[in-house]
Structure 1
């Protein structure tokens, strides 16, 4: 289906941004395949916050990025993605999913990603952390 939105998790973007990341090639290839297949790459403000947090901290990466490097990396990402905003609908879905699945603590962040996806009728998520999303039967997971 041309134009289908596929949501991209933080860890895939981070792997693509660091050439020395162990999953760099897998991330780059999968994102390129999606674009060639005329898929639209989705992200949210939460994903941007997570990218900024991970990249400026540099934990488990070869180094931390400066704000200038980050700006240069994010520019192309913004130009090739569709932004899925958090809405009242996604907030209600977050509460519904949280209650139904007994979500607690940090799990709420992944639940919010799924709520935003569902609010925008997006059902596919590309992630290197499928275990974090297994509880959500509503979405299909794609591991690069």
Structure 2
């Protein structure tokens, strides 16, 4: 990666950066600083924001972070100040259908395929995630796990 490149962040990067109790917390916080410092643009989409808000405001007992809505929204504002926003376009929808048809992926995994479609339709090649297996069926993107 070089200065000016755009990379995409999966929802789990934002969640780990928020939750100091997660084992991946320091890696998530570090990747924000390191990439930004290297002049690399960090990207998210509406899907990432929605998924973050769902998990962040869900009770801890239901596998959420248990944040108050206003705290979760404050976090989104902070993340948005450090990222660029990639719109889901007609190209994104067409790419999603193409990916689904070529891989046969269905059900809940379509959410992950939509992330890939958003990236590909915007020419973004690198995805940072703590769940690399979720994207292993997709060609055309490089998967990186923050360290």
> Which interval holds the TM-score relative to the shorter structure?
over 0.9
Counting matched residue pairs gives: 143
When normalised by structure 2's length, the TM-score is: 0.93
Would you say the 8 A contact 2:7–2:125 is kept in 1? yes
Gaps spanning 5+ residues in structure 2: where? none
When normalised by structure 1's length, the TM-score is: 0.95
Gaps spanning 5+ residues in structure 1: where? none
User: Where does residue 23 of structure 1 map in the other structure?
Assistant: 24
Runs of at least 4 residues of structure 1 off by over 2 A? Answer: 58-61
Compute the RMSD of aligned alpha carbons: 1.1
User: Where does residue 102 of structure 1 map in the other structure?
Assistant: 104
**What is the CA–CA distance in structure 1 between the aligned matches of 2:142 and 2:38, rounded to whole Å?**
17
**What is the CA–CA distance in structure 1 between the aligned matches of 2:145 and 2:71, rounded to whole Å?**
27
User: Where does residue 45 of structure 1 map in the other structure?
Assistant: 46
Equivalent of 2:68 in 66, 76, 79? 66
Shift of 1:20: 2.0
Shift of 1:60: 3.4
Q: Deviations over 1:72-122 (max 9, x none)?
A: 211110111100000000100000000000011011000000000001000
**What is the CA–CA distance in structure 2 between the aligned matches of 1:18 and 1:75, rounded to whole Å?**
16
